[in-house]
Every structure is written in structure tokens, then in C-alpha cells.
Structure 1
Amino acid sequence: MGRRPLAVLAAGIAVAVALGTAGCTGDGGDGGDARPAAPVAGGAEVLPGPVPSGLALRPAPTDSPAAPKVTGTLTDGSSLAVAELWGDRPVVLTFFTSWCNTCAERQDGFSELSRSYRDRVVFVGVAGEDEPDGLQEYLRQHRVEYPVLVDAGQQIARSYAVREPPAVILVAKGGSLLRGWPGGVDAATLDDALRKLVIAP
């Protein structure tokens, strides 16, 4: 009689294990272990919010040339006209690729700078000649939380006379071209330029 309860218990455990294993195979079709897909980095979800009230900006020099108006596709397939962004605040365009070592060395600084200026100055990445998976890995690794245009055909780069990454372009509110850095720039120098050229004290 003493062995019967142990036999029943062992049988119950075996059934439970079998049911648990069957539930993990995915053949049951209930999707219990399916996880929601992560948002595409650099897509429309990270477009800026409303302009902060009281944002004070320096006027652009009257002799500044107009920045080229470009429209492109974000990493999630959404369309973006950059001129819509600079209609009410300054824009920083950062040209890069995921395989550019200098871009990678400076990206963390840009990512942090974009967060510190959130909604006051819009950062927009322009990625050229990149594979989607490699680009997504780069954006997530460097915590890029601003929109990124995919410039596979280099049309946007040519519009701004960018021959190769990295490069950075600063555009004032209203679309005046303030400054460009062929070969790129570090975050500290860009921060200094933003304070001197666009953000009023």
C-alpha cells in the first residue's frame, strides 16, 4: 500500500512534464511564447514632440544660403520631409554608415546630445549604403533615439555635397544653412556650435 501514492505522484509529474513540453513546441498554435516585435529603431516613433514653450533661438544670418529641401524614407518605411522639421526648430543632419569606424566612435556622444536637446533641436540621421540588419544593430547598440533616413541611392548626400561619411550639417529654424562639417565633428564641438549659433542665452 505504501508504494501506491508514490506511483500516482510519479505518474502525475510525468503527465505535467509532457503537457509542459507540448506547450513549448508552438504546435498548439496559441502563440503563448510569442513576443511582440521591438519597434524599428530610427522610425517614425522617435519623431519629435511639440516645441517646448519659451524656446528662444538666435536669428539666422540674413546671408545664409537655404538648405536643400529633401524628402526620404525612415527605417520603418515612413516618409519624412526634413523641411517640415526645420519649420519650427533647428535641425542637425548626421550622415553616417554602420561600418564607419569614425561614425561609431562619435555616435554615443551624438546620441546623448540629442537627448539633452530633445524637442528643442531635432537630430536626423542619414544612413547610406547600409544593410537593414546592420543598421538596426548599430542604432540599438548606440541608443540612437532620433529619426534616421535611409539614403541607399545617396540622393540626400549629394544634395548636401557629402562625399562620404561622416558629415554633419546644422540648419537653422526656417531652413537657413548655418554650418557644415565634412569629415564629421565631435559632440562637444557640435554642442558649442548649437549654443553659439542657434540657442539664445
Structure 2
Amino acid sequence: MRRRFRRTVPVVVALAVAAALVAGGCTSGDDDPGPVPAVAGGAAAMPGPVPGDLALRPAPTDSPVAPRVSGTLTDGSPLAVADLWAERPVVFTFFNSWCTTCAQRQDGFSELARGYRDKVVFVGVAGEDEPDAVQAYLREHRVEYPVVLDDTGTIWRSYAVREPPAVVLVAKGGALLRGWPGGVDAATLDGTLRELVLAP
């Protein structure tokens, strides 16, 4: 039994190395999405520069100010949300990896976030959850925006979120525009962004 195991291990290792080389060498420049971040939802998912053609509607003057919270991204990087809305609107998605409704709507949010890349920042806020379970969720649903691990529930309480899902829209400058306890689908969120945030 031991002899068979010793012969098998080098073969398995060789096959794994060959597979890695083939996978790395078979992608063309056009199809290559670039390096996959070691940790989904970390600092590598932060937005790039604000597009020069970004036109925004002014926020209503009577809107309340969104809570200025800070947190830690999935890779341990610090995040102050006010730094994000200083330049552009922010959408907070409050979720848990075990939330069925969150999972049903997440693919739509992921696609919407890609469509608005750098114009509107999506920020996921995972409640009390296991980091490994959050990573599996983010990778399964191709979440490419920053995600805060809110282990203490501080951010959830600041935004009066009691259970997932929930979505909050904040204008550039920090005005609280809209909240959806119980969440919202991507199509409705898209329509609200066009109506309240993005200038035609």
C-alpha cells in the first residue's frame, strides 16, 4: 500500500503542475481577466479614478447625512466610507453568506456594480459571519467590489439594519438618499440610480 502511495504522489503533483501551466498559457490577451486577487472583497477591489464624464444630480438639501462609519475589508485593509462618497455615490449591500434572498439577488448586484464601475461604488457589508464562508460567497457570485466584515454589527446598527438583506444608497457628499430594509432587486436599484443619482 505504501509503495503505491509513493508512486501516486509524484504523478499527482506533476499533473497539477502541468494543469497550472496549461491554464496559464492558454488564455489570450483579450480573454485574460487579469490576476485573481488572493482575497475577494479586499483593497484590490477598491474603485479606480473617478471618470471624467461622471455627471451627477445634486442631492436634496433636506436629506439626512449618512453615518460616517469605518470598517475592515476582507483582507484586513481599513476602510472609511466617507472617503468613498467624497468622490462619488455609494451603494451599501448588507448581506450574510447564509442568506438565501441575498444569494438570489447577488448576481444582479455584481453585474450592476461592473456596469457602474468607478462611477458608483458598491460596498458589501457582511454581518456576523465566517470569513471562509464570506469568501466562498463572494467568489461564487463574482463580487468584485470591496466588502467589509462587520463582525461586531456596528455598521449594521449605524444604518438600522436588523437582518439581511438590506440596501442603502448614499449620494456623493454623504446625503442619505434611500434605504431598502428587506433588500431590493438589481433592476429597481438601477432605476433608482438613474433617477436620483446619475444625471442624463
Describe how 1:109-124 pairs up with structure 2 within 5 A: 109-124=108-123
Identity across matched positions, percent: 72
3-state SS in 2 of match to 1:156: helix
Residue 43 of structure 1 is matched in structure 2 by: 42
User: Across the two proteins, how many residue pairs are aligned to each other?
Assistant: 176
What does residue 66 of structure 1 align with?
65
Alignment check: 8 A CA contact 2:37 2:44 kept = no
Q: Deviations over 1:47-76 (max 9, x none)?
A: 000000021000000000000000000000
Cα distance between partner residues in 1 of 2:54 and 2:160 = 31
What residue identity is the alignment partner of 2:151?
A
How big is the shift at 1:21?
3.4
C-alpha separation in 1, matches of 2:105 and 2:159? 20
Partner of 2:85: 86
1:1-201 equivalence runs, <5 A: 21=10, 24=13, 39-201=38-200
SS in structure 1 of the partner of residue 125 of structure 2 = strand
Cα drift, residue 129 of structure 1: 1.5
Asked whether the equivalents of residues 95 and 166 of structure 2 are also in contact (C-alpha less than 8 Å), the reply is yes
What is the letter of the counterpart of residue 56 of structure 1?
Answer: A
Cα 1:65/1:37, change in 2 over 3 Å: closer
Equivalent in the alignment of 1:8: none
| Residues 29-56 of structure 1, C-alpha deviations (whole Å, 9 max, x = no match) | xxx89x8995100000010000000210
Poorly superposed stretches of 4+, deviation over 6 Å: none
- Structure 2 unaligned runs (5+)? 1-6, 21-34
* In 2, Cα distance between equivalents of 1:75 and 1:90: 22
Instruction: Give distance in 2, aligned partners of 1:84 and 1:164.
Output: 26
Deviations for 1:88-122, whole angstroms, at most 9, x for unmatched residues? 10000000000000000000000000000000000
Counterpart CA distance in 1 for 2:80 and 2:139 is: 24
1:188 corresponds to which letter in structure 2? A
TM-score, normalised relative to structure 2 = 0.83
- The amino acid across from 1:136 in the alignment is Q
TM-score (norm 1): 0.83
1:51 and 1:147 map into 2 onto residues whose CA distance is: 16
Deviations 1:125-171 (A, max 9, x none): 00011111111000000000000000011000000000111000000
* Cα distance, 1:144–1:22 mapped onto 2, change above 3 Å: closer
Higher Rg of the two aligned structures:
1
Q: Is there any run of 5+ residues in structure 1 with no aligned partner, and where? A: 1-17, 26-31
| TM-align CA RMSD | 2.1
- Taking the aligned partners of 1:96 and 1:87, their CA distance within structure 2 comes to 24
